[in-house]
Amino acid sequence: MKQHSTFNLQFSTTIIFLLFLAVLAVPVTALAQDAEPYAPTDDEINAIAREMFCPVCENVPLDVCGTQACAQWRALIGEKLSQGWTEEEIKQYFVDQYGARVLSEPPREGINWLVYVVPPVAFLVGAYVLLKGLRSWRQIEPESTPLVNDEISDDYVARLEDELRKSQ
Amino acid sequence: MIANLGYGALVLTLIVSFYGIGAALVGLRKNKPALVDSARNAMLLTFPLLTLSALSIIYLLATNHFEVEYVASVTSRSMPMYLKVTALWGGQSGSLVFWSWLMSAFASAVTLRKWDRDREFLPWVIVVSLITLAFFLALNLFVENPFTRLWALPSGQVIEAMLRPAGGSLYFPSDGRGLNPLLRHPGMIIHPPMLYLGFVSFVIPYAFAMAALITGRTDDRWIRLTRRWTLWAWMFLTLGLVLGGRWAYDVLGWGGYWGWDPVEIAAFMPWLTGTAFLHSVMIQEKRGMLKQWNMVLIILTYALVIFGTFLTRSGVLSSVHAFAQSAIGPLFFAFIGITFIVSISLLMQRWNALKAQNQMTSMLSREALFLLNNLLFLGILVVCFWGVIFPLISELFTGQKVTVGPPFYERANGPLMAGLLLLMAVAPLAAWGRSTYQTLGRAIWKPTVAAAVVLVAVIISGVTNIYAMIGIFLASLVIAVTIHQYWRGIMARRKRDGSNFLAAFTKLMQRDPRRYGGYLVHISMAMLAIGIVGIEMFQTETQGTLSQGESLELGRYTMVYDELAVFNTNDARNVARAVVSVYKDGKPVGELYPRRDFFYDSQQPMTIPGVRSTFADDFYVLLVDWEEISSNSATFKIYHNPLVKWMWVGSWVFIIGTLISAWPEKEKETAPKRSQHRVAAAAD
Amino acid sequence: MNEETTNNPVSEVPQEKTGPQWGRLAVWGGLLLLMGMLAVGLKRTQEGPVQPGQMAPEFIVTSFDGQNYNSAELRGKVIVLNFWASWCKPCEQEAADLEAAWQYYADRGDVVFLGVDYVDTEPEALGYLTKFNISYPNGPDLGTRISQAFRIRGVPETYIINQEGMLTHTQIGPFTSLAQIKAVIDPLLDQ
């Protein structure tokens, strides 16, 4: 029994020791993973920061804003990067924390679609109207009085072209 | 007392303006030319009065009269004299006086011209100018008075008031708060006056347009009369924008020149419509078309000038362009509303009288291409306007702010601007009325080959960005086409009178300054485009913290941190100035001195880059941070900005081009006016 | 304006056929829309922060330790809502006074102090709270919603809300003394 128990004790201490080692080792290896820490460079931080805006310095991109608040934001980006976050995740984090205004463009959702849709639509409408206008002008042409043709209305150019032709 | 004198002059100017408006209107109604002349004299009188008022402010600024609130807010004892004087436009109220003064100078100059043939316009031009002037004066007198003084009350409280409050005595602060350090830069000193000049001089063509609408004399007379004014306005506005960019590049320390900030855009929008106007008036002059459209454009330009000033100064939009929050917003709002309503009503009333005399004949004619140009300019306007206004809409509907920043504008405007470059290359080759693909093709193939050669060279040098290729190709095409046009002109002339090259060139410029000056402006725009492509698409940057002797590399450049000195200057700055040496491909190319100035009076820092600029690229160093005590290590940010210098050189070319274009042409002014075609031909 | 710029070329051409009627309407409509928008924007700018005498906006502060403080549920108590940030130097001037005021009122139970951390990063914010021994609940201004609702112009700003949810005092900039804080809270409690 005693023996056994000794053995047992030895066995259990070994087990405990091993377990202890294991328990120790887990954070150690975990630390080892963290400890070859990926330290983001200023450039990597700025690459993300330049597409963000901090409400403290409005309309100045985060990468060049000089306030303390912005310096903290950049440090936070660095911290997230070192934890292995992607650019998208970091931006999303900032949006959740501080609102959509941190992005350099409105997120494509809800009423914000208007910002992307209206200019091209307006442009197309303008182009259509212009085209139609030009067409209708041309259609009227045959009936309208004879035009002053371009040779006369631009006689200087005409003369120039003439001289050019001669010179060639 | 000087403050009272200046204030009195302002009050008097307002009264004189009201008198002038009244006299002109009554003179018109009762048909009394003497009254109209009197109104004209009133207009002329505003200028010396406002000069007196502006000089009063300058005197107060220069002599440290800190009991005047404006003086205390924009100057301090330590500021050099030139900054004290230019602080006239360093704050809201002073710059409004400056605005009015410029406005009055321009309007007076206009009223001084000979009016024999255009008498019917005179009273209305006076009325419109004086109403605008009176509005700005009213802002000064009732909301933003530059002459308010500080008074200490018996209770110990210090208040601002124009007149002495009961029991009050003047309060003299020992020093002023000083000018915003960002504004203490040569670029910033001339940037606002240029913008204001551009803004106020657009009032003149607008006043004439209104006069034309009101009197019903809707031929192109008003356009001919104001062509040069418009060009001047346009030149100043462009210069104001470019100088603003230069200032941002040199002072703001973002390594860029243009941040699509709402206030920048506010100044850019009238430029867009103004440029469209400059082109489309030519159609009206040549072909008698687009009268309605030109009216629309000039009204829009004027409205955008006022709107831009409103956006900048009312605090509706937040921006780096700091004008403090102000109560002038509602007045401005009312003025914008009235301007819009009156102008649009007038335009609608005359809509049918403004019908075209001619028809569009060809899709390939110059007028058709000009219309396309107008479409593109307005497209950019819509993008800009929408981007500026959208955050307001978003906040209104969702309660959340959003930022509409550079990526939006760049993506949306990039193709439109490329389209404009293409038009700049093609349109000058197209004839009025009608062109054929054949003639166009003949005219353009040589320049296209030249541009293609440039493109190949660019590709060989390692450029892979497709947008950059397009941009460079189009810009070179514009330059090639334009130079080719000069070349053809010069050769034709030499052929005819056998003059030498230079003489032929000068003759060409004299013969048709408007056209050849305009071409020079096109070249300058292409140069600007090259600079923009360079910095937008090829800018690289890096940042690092260095100990003395260590270096940072960026592309072919190496920068070595040599030393850093921190010292105080006698104008109340604390300066941290670093010395760095720059090597290109291992060879030393010079030293740069990036620095950070801290202004004690306003407690603000300012980062001034060290820049080495060549036609190929700029090497741009910012001192971001340093160790306070040891100054052993410092953080630098460096930018490599290719081709930026082309922008600044391009703007000189631009000035020369516009000046040539606006040069008075003697023979034309005396030519008989009503027989249009020969004159029109000479004017192209 | 947008409508307008696109409509002008419209009315330029087809009005000969269709008449300018709808074009005119569109122009005036566009103008009205634009001016309306500007008017609202202008009104907001002119208003400045929420003024005393108005009802305070509703808000929920989620503190750094996860507790929710809903303004609606706090009716019947006086709320001292302080906007601050760790990067804000003037905030430090009032931090000790605010904490002292909290200590003074804490036992009564009818005064709530809430700190809203404006545009700040959490580690620095927690460091700030430790440095000044601040014991009343503090939380981030998620999505800058609360600061937008109160239309603050900067930090520090403090809003005192009475038992009925009405704003009674707005402090722009730091409080300068404990007495000053008491002076704005005490009158509410005496009622």
Question: For chain A, what are the domain ranges?
Answer: 1-36, 42-104, 111-167
pLDDT band at A142 (very low <50, low <70, confident <90, very high): very low
With a CB-CB cutoff of 8 Å, which residues 47-66 of chain A face chain B?
Answer: 51, 53, 55, 57-61, 64, 66
Distance in angstroms (rounded) separating the CA atoms of residues B42 and B61: 29
CA distance A105 to chain C (A): 16
- Number of B:C CB contacts under 8 A? 76
pLDDT band at B681 (very low <50, low <70, confident <90, very high): very low
Counting DSSP H helices and E strands in chain B, the numbers are 20, 13
Judge whether residue B129 has pLDDT over 90: yes
pLDDT of residue B285: 83
Average pLDDT, chain B: 86
Nearest by CB: A154 against B408, B492, B684? B684
Q: What is the pLDDT of residues B501-524, one digit of tens each?
A: 888 888 888 888 888 899 999 999
Distance in angstroms (rounded) separating the CA atoms of residues B340 and B344: 6
Give residue A23's Cα distance to chain centre.
Answer: 42
Q: Please state whether beta strands B540-547 and B633-642 pair in parallel, antiparallel, or not at all (unpaired).
A: antiparallel
- Number of Cβ within 10 Å of residue B85's Cβ equals 16
* B543 touches A at CB < 8 Å: yes
pLDDT band at B318 (very low <50, low <70, confident <90, very high): low
Please choose, from the candidates B210, B219, B215, B226, the residue with its C-alpha nearest in 3D space to the C-alpha of residue B354. Answer: B219
pLDDT band at A30 (very low <50, low <70, confident <90, very high): very low
Q: Which of A98-107, B4-13, B313-322 has the least mean pLDDT?
A: B313-322
Q: Is residue C92 part of a domain?
A: yes
Q: What is the pLDDT of residues B399-453, one digit of tens each?
A: 778 889 899 999 999 999 999 999 999 988 888 877 778 888 888 888 999 999 9
Chain B residue with the nearest C-alpha to that of A54:
B403
Q: Could you list the residue range(s) of the whole structural domain that residue C16 is in? A: 2-47
Of B363 and C78, the structure prediction assigns the larger pLDDT to C78
Q: Please state whether beta strands B573-584 and B557-568 pair in parallel, antiparallel, or not at all (unpaired).
A: antiparallel
Q: What is the pLDDT of residues B139-196, one digit of tens each?
A: 999 888 999 999 988 888 888 888 888 888 888 888 888 887 777 777 778 888 898 8
Range among A22-26, B4-8, B347-351 with highest mean pLDDT value: B4-8
* C53 touches A at CB < 8 Å: no
Q: What is the mean pLDDT of residues C95-121?
A: 91
pLDDT band at B48 (very low <50, low <70, confident <90, very high): very high
Share of chain B above pLDDT 90, in %: 44
Of C139 and B324, the structure prediction assigns the larger pLDDT to C139
pLDDT band at B561 (very low <50, low <70, confident <90, very high): very high
Q: What is the pLDDT of residues C58-79, one digit of tens each?
A: 999 999 988 999 988 988 899 9
CA distances from C64 to A125, C87, C129 (A): 51, 17, 11
Q: Which residues are CB-neighbours of B90 under 8 A, at least 6 positions away? A: B74, B75, B179, B180, B183
Assess contact for B206 and B121: CB atoms under 8 A: no
Q: What is the mean pLDDT of residues B531-540?
A: 90
Distance in angstroms (rounded) separating the CA atoms of residues C171 and C182: 13
Distance in angstroms (rounded) separating the CA atoms of residues B591 and B283: 53
Q: What is the mean pLDDT of residues B276-300?
A: 87
Distance in angstroms (rounded) separating the CA atoms of residues B516 and B657: 8
Residue given tokens 């442009």 in the structure block: A123
CA distance A77 to chain B (A): 15
pLDDT band at B653 (very low <50, low <70, confident <90, very high): very high
Chain B residue with the nearest C-alpha to that of A148:
B433
* A126 touches B at CB < 8 Å: yes
Nearest by CB: B543 against A42, A61, A137? A42
Distance in angstroms (rounded) separating the CA atoms of residues C134 and B386: 45
Judge whether residue C28 has pLDDT over 80: yes
Q: What is the pLDDT of residues B543-557, one digit of tens each?
A: 988 988 899 999 899
Q: What is the mean pLDDT of residues B220-248?
A: 88
* B645 touches A at CB < 8 Å: no
Of B216 and C81, the structure prediction assigns the larger pLDDT to C81
Distance in angstroms (rounded) separating the CA atoms of residues B455 and C9: 37
pLDDT of residue B138: 93
CA distances from B583 to B17, B523, B552, B590, C133 (A): 62, 33, 10, 7, 52
Q: What is the mean pLDDT of residues B454-464?
A: 89
Q: What is the mean pLDDT of residues B273-280?
A: 93
Choose the mutation target among A68, A96, A98 for the interface with C, i.e. most C CBs under 10 Å: A98
**C122 with C160, same domain?**
yes
Chain A residues touching C121 at Cβ < 8 A: 72-73, 75-76
Total number of domains constituting chain C: 2
Nearest by CB: C45 against B325, B386, B399? B325
Q: What is the interface pTM, i.e. ipTM, of the complex?
A: 0.82
Judge whether residue B668 has pLDDT over 90: no
Nearest by CB: C1 against B330, B351, B385? B385
**C33 with C106, same domain?**
no
Q: What is the mean pLDDT of residues B337-365?
A: 81
* C1 touches B at CB < 8 Å: yes
8 Å CB contact of B340 and C20: no
Specify the 3-state DSSP secondary structure of B671. coil
Q: What is the mean pLDDT of residues B235-259?
A: 86
Range among A34-38, C25-29, C150-154 with highest mean pLDDT value: C25-29
Judge whether residue A167 has pLDDT over 60: no
**C150 with C79, same domain?**
yes
Q: Let me know the angle formed at the C-alpha of B262 by B258 and B267, rounded to the nearest 5 degrees.
A: 75
CATH number for the domain spanning C174: value is 3.40.30.10
pLDDT band at C13 (very low <50, low <70, confident <90, very high): very low
Please choose, from the candidates B16, B324, B350, B87, the residue with its C-alpha nearest in 3D space to the C-alpha of residue B209. Answer: B350
Judge whether residue B468 has pLDDT over 80: yes
**C125 with C156, same domain?**
yes
Chain A residue with the nearest C-alpha to that of B512:
A156
Judge whether residue B130 has pLDDT over 90: yes
Choose the mutation target among B314, B323, B354, B390 for the interface with C, i.e. most C CBs under 10 Å: B314
8 Å CB contact of B359 and A153: no
pLDDT band at C117 (very low <50, low <70, confident <90, very high): very high
**A: neighbours with 3+ CB pairs under 8 Å?**
B, C
Judge whether residue A145 has pLDDT over 70: no
Please choose, from the candidates A70, A75, A76, the residue with its C-alpha nearest in 3D space to the C-alpha of residue A53. Answer: A70
pLDDT band at B52 (very low <50, low <70, confident <90, very high): very high
Chain C residues touching B322 at Cβ < 8 A: none
Right CATH number for A42-104 from 1.10.8.640, 3.50.50.60, 2.60.120.10, 3.40.190.10?
Answer: 1.10.8.640
- Domain range annotation of chain B: 1-179, 557-637
Q: Which of A15-24, B9-18, C121-130 has the least mean pLDDT?
A: A15-24
CA distances from B156 to B153, B167, B168, B169, C174 (A): 5, 11, 9, 10, 22
8 Å CB contact of C143 and A98: yes
pLDDT band at A143 (very low <50, low <70, confident <90, very high): very low
> What angle, 0 to 180 degrees and rounded to 10, lies between the N-to-C axes of helices B33-62 and B122-138?
30
Chain A residues touching C85 at Cβ < 8 A: 69
Residue A137, token pair as written in the block: 């002008």
